Structure 1
Amino acid sequence: MAELIKIYEENPNERELEKVVEILKKGGLIIYPTDTVYGLGCDITNMKAMEKVAKIKGVKLDKANFSFICYDLSNLSDYIKQIDTATYKILKKHLPGPYTFVLPSNNNLPKAFKNKKTVGIRIPDNNIIRELVKKLGNPIVSTSIYDEDDLLEYTTDPELIYEKWGNIVDVVIDGGYGDNNPSTVVDLSDNEITILREGKGSLENF
């Protein structure tokens, strides 16, 4: 059974964060809060862990549309082709925030994603997940646990999330109630602004 670890966003406990990072480094799967819905994720450098996440979602890893959670924009050049100033300004204006930006990928993507031309980048406005990424030292591959068929409580209440996912993952972080509105997905990969999904992030400033 997974561990249920309570971490507060205002002042995330260092010891608890370290514990989760150790589990990620060993290939563990975690469920964590973001500024939108709770997410399921693992260390981007661990192929076995990513395969497990894909299996849970019922997709093949090379076909999976996982997003990468970064600590800040300085991680981007690891996986993204050089972007122009206009694109960078859009990112800087909206991140951290409830958006997933689809950007052109470079050749450093993990092996499983080598054929992908684009990648979704998330920098959530949530201290817990960002601190975890910072301590881990590389992005966390992420997918939401939001399920259209689920009762809403199962994707917003950490206790119920634990009840449902406790046998599937290694850690469920209780960071308080989650949102049930996913991130707004914006495609910036071909110098146009295309809204792929309208979610929590406002579209007013695009």
Structure 2
Amino acid sequence: MAKYFDVHPENPQRRTITTVADSIRSGALVAYRRTPATRWAASWATATASPAFRSIRNLDDRHHFTLVCQTFAQLGEFVHIDNDVFRAIKAATPGSYTFILPATKEVPRQLLHPKKKTVGVRIPDHVVTQALLAELGEPLLSSTLLLPGEDAPMTQGWEIKERLDHVVDSVLDSGDCGTEPTTVIDFSGGDIEIVRRGAGDTTRFE
């Protein structure tokens, strides 16, 4: 049975954040509500996390997982960034963007695109997510909480708890988060490719 945590969206309770972070370190799968859209999260270093995500969402091995990082310095440990890309990403973070980039050797093989050897990375501007990342001291492996056959992720904490009680270990609810996903920008092919238009403004990348 999943534990349910209700936290303040601007001043999240430290004890709750610590409890959830400890559970993630121990291998827990957490559903968390943040802007934009609801997501799953787990420890990026947990070998069982990516198969669980694939199974729940019915994903193939070409799906790009996302490492949610607290800072730009942390992000730089996991992806290769040249000077031009550095400036473009720096100007857009933190924010509602996911960037696809060539991964460093720090990223486990099971999280990489099998042919491109790339991974998604992002730096959120959501207070609760930032608090969780600060407590963890490492990135979160994350994916939009979009179930097979559905057009949008669930947005209500009680619904997530009710429907996924047997799937997730915890639900971290910080209020309304909307349904629009992040904007996804692919820098891995040399040219900038807008893979998905979402909450982040794409003007600067066009």
Query: TM (normalized to structure 2)?
Result: 0.90
Once the two structures are superposed, what CA deviation does each residue of 1:59-116 show, in whole Å capped at 9, x if it has no partner? Answer: 36x54421111011111222112x2222111111111111111111122211423645
Distance in 1 (CA, whole Å) between partners of 2:55 and 2:195 is: 24
Report which of the two has the higher share of helix: 1
Contact 1:37–1:146 (CA<8 Å) still a contact in 2?
Answer: no
Aligned to 1:197: 196
**Which stretch has the larger CA shift, 121-130 or 38-47?**
121-130
Pair 112,150 (structure 1): closer, same or farther in 2 beyond 3 Å: closer
Aligned to 2:155: 156
Structure 2 unmatched runs, 5+: none
Pair 148,204 (structure 1): closer, same or farther in 2 beyond 3 Å: farther
Which runs of at least 4 in structure 1 moved beyond 4 Å after TM superposition? none
CA drift at 1:141? 0.7
The root-mean-square deviation of aligned C-alpha atoms, in Å, is 1.9
Sequence identity, in percent? 30
CA drift at 1:19? 0.3
CA drift at 1:148? 7.4
CA drift at 1:143? 0.7
Contact 1:7–1:173 (CA<8 Å) still a contact in 2?
Answer: yes
> Structure 2 residue aligned with 1:92, among 90, 93, 99?
90
CA drift at 1:27? 0.4
CA drift at 1:34? 2.5
Structure 1 unmatched runs, 5+: none
Aligned to 1:23: 23
CA drift at 1:46? 0.9
How many residue pairs get aligned? The number is 203
Q: 3-state SS of the aligned residue for 1:23?
A: helix
Once the two structures are superposed, what CA deviation does each residue of 1:131-171 show, in whole Å capped at 9, x if it has no partner? Answer: 2122112111111013474475x611111121111221010
Pairing 1:1-206 to 2, within 5 Å after superposition? 1-59=1-59, 63-81=62-80, 83-113=81-111, 115=114, 117-147=117-147, 149-150=149-150, 155-206=154-205
Pair 64,193 (structure 1): closer, same or farther in 2 beyond 3 Å: closer
Distance in 1 (CA, whole Å) between partners of 2:166 and 2:58 is: 17
Query: TM (normalized to structure 1)?
Result: 0.90
Contact 2:30–2:172 (CA<8 Å) still a contact in 1?
Answer: yes
**Which stretch has the larger CA shift, 45-54 or 72-81?**
45-54
Q: 3-state SS of the aligned residue for 2:79?
A: coil
